[in-house]
Structure formats: C-alpha cells, structure tokens
Amino acid sequence: MRTVLVSDPSERLLSLEGVRKSYATGEGPVQVLAGVDMNLAPGESLALTGESGSGKSTLLHLAAGLDSADEGRIVVAGHDISQAGDTERARLRRGTVGLVFQQFNLIPSLDVAANLAFQARLAGRHDPEWQAELADALGLTACLHRYPEQLSGGQQQRVAIGRTLAARPRLVLADEPTGNLDEATGDAVMALFLRLVSQTGAGLLMVTHSTRLAGRLHGRLQLSAGRVA
C-alpha cells in the first residue's frame, strides 16, 4: 500500500525518490534499500514498519542526513540533501530535524535541564517558557538537575523527547522511541509524545514494530525487500 496524502510538492516536508543504499560487508555489498519512494507532509504522521533488518533505521538515518544514499533524491523542507556535504547536513540536523532514538540519546556530561535546552539553543530557538511547559508535561520538573545516568530508562526517554520537541523541529524522526521500555510505561510515554508532536505541528516519521501504535498515526509505510510496499 502506497500512501501519498499530499499531492502539492511544495507542501512536502520530506520526500524520497528512488533511494538506494547498500552496506559493504565481508561477503560483498548487501543491498538494504532498493529504490524507496515516499512523501511526508507538514503536520502528517507516518509509521514505518517492517521486519527486523528490513532497513527501517537505515531509511530514517538517510532522511535525517546522518548518512548519505548511494542513489536517488532526498528532499527535506525544500533542500535536496542527496548531494549535500557534511556541513550542510549538519546544519539540517541542527535546524530542521529532531531525532529520538531507542537509546543513547542524551549527552552524559550535561544535566537534564541542559540536555533539554541543548538542541533548542543550537538551533537558536530556545524558549524557556515552552521548555518549562514541556518539562512539566513530561513530569521531569523534579529531576532537572540530575545527570542522565541517574535516571530510569523511562525518564531518560522522556528527556530525549522533551529535548527534541523543545527545539520545535519541523520534522521529527523517531526510531522505536519506546522499544526499550516496558509496555505500560512505553504506552504512557508514547501517548505523551504523540500529543506533544501534534501540538507543535511537526511532521513525524516513526519506526515501530507495533501495529497498535501504528494505528494511532495518519498512515503507515511497510518496508519489505528494500522497497516501500
């Protein structure tokens, strides 16, 4: 099933065309993405599903400008990053994209408050009121001066979410943000995450294994055999 909700290309926040990516391994190159096409509009939220090893994380990393594709076009907020250099991609990550990973999200040497503010300040969009609101909503007010390793997994993941949203990125990319948490905590954090994302009006592409979670989003992309089916 191919999902294209928005037809006006100028309205596209993220678009991939014929993106290919392979990794070099001991037994030669392994094709992971074999011509992926997809689009995401502002305010839209899409779930990315597929078997383990199908290339979901790879796709997300390419969209975030963390890695470069072998072939194809990737356009983020009007910028073609397929041919962009290191510096330009870093600028994109700083200004436009927000990332939430499964783990190792936080900067261990900074306390919670500094972690929350970090990306917003990098992007030049630091808003203390909004940050306080987020900290409150995420239940982090009590542990603002603790360090990441003094937090539980759920708390750490809430800080990661708060940090991403504090910067008000136009595109949020999340890779199984609650995969490391138990189901109850995961659900609570996820509900909060989705509510806050829609509050900022950002576009969201989220990798998940859970059909239940996928159902809560606007649409769903299924990766298999290196393509979006």
Partner 1 sequence: MRVALAALLSHWRRSPLQLAMLLLGLALATALWSGVQAINAEARASYAEAAATLGQDRLARITAQGPIPQETYVDLRRAGWRVSPVIEGRVRIDERRSLRLIGIEPLTLPAPAQQVEFGEGDALLPFLTAPGLIFAAPETLARMEGADLPPLREAQGIPPGTGLIDIGQAQRLLRMEGLVSHLLLDPDAPRPGELPEGLRLVPPDSESDVARLTDSFHLNLTAFGLLSFAVGLFIVHSAIGLAFEQRRPMFRTLRALGVTARTLTGLLLAELVLFALLAGVAGLALGYLVAALLLPDVAATLRGLYGAEVPGTLAFRPGWAAAGLGIALLGTLVSASQSLWRVAHLPLLAPAQPRAWAVASERALLRQAAAAAGLLILAGALLLWGRGVVAAFVLLAALLLGAALLLPVLLAGVLRLAQRAARGPIAQWFWADTRQQLPGLSLALMALLLALAANIGVGTMVSSFRLTFTGWLDQRLAFELYLSAPDQVTADRIADWLEPRAEAVLPIVRAETEVLGQPAQLYGMADHATYRENWPLLAEEPGVWDRLAGGDWALVNEQLARRERLAPGDPIRLPGWEGRIAAIYSDYGNPSAQVILGIDRFFALHPEAERRRYGIRVAPARAEALAEELRAAFDLPDETLIDQASLKGFSLQVFERTFAVTAALNVLTLGVAGLAMFASLMVLSGMRLPQLAPVWAMGLTKARLARLEMLRTLLLASGTLVAALPLGLALAWVLLAVVNVQAFGWRLPMHVFPLDWLTLGALALGAAALAAAVPVRRLARLRPADLLRVFANER
Ligand X SMILES: Nc1ncnc2c1ncn2[C@@H]1O[C@H](COP(=O)(O)OP(=O)(O)OP(=O)(O)O)[C@@H](O)[C@H]1O
- Specify the residue, 14 or 32, whose C-beta has the smaller distance to ligand X: 32
Kindly state the smallest distance separating residue 51's Cβ from ligand X, in Å.
7
Q: Is 56 in the site for ligand X (CB under 6 A)?
A: yes
Kindly state the smallest distance separating residue 175's Cβ from Mg ion, in Å.
6
Q: Is 25 in the site for ligand X (CB under 6 A)?
A: yes
Q: Is 23 in the site for partner 1 (CB under 8 A)?
A: yes
User: What is the 3 state secondary structure string of 30-97?
Assistant: EEEEEEEEEEECCCCEEEEEECCCCCHHHHHHHHCCCCCCCEEEEEECCEECCCCCHHHHHHHHHHCE
Kindly state the smallest distance separating residue 49's Cβ from Mg ion, in Å.
11
Which stretch in 55-63, 68-76, 87-95, 119-127 sits in contact with ligand X by CB under 6 A?
A: 55-63
| Residues that bind partner 1 in the complex, under the rule CB under 8 A | 23, 57, 61, 64, 66-68, 86-87, 90-95, 99, 101-110, 114, 117-119, 121-123, 147, 149-150, 175, 179
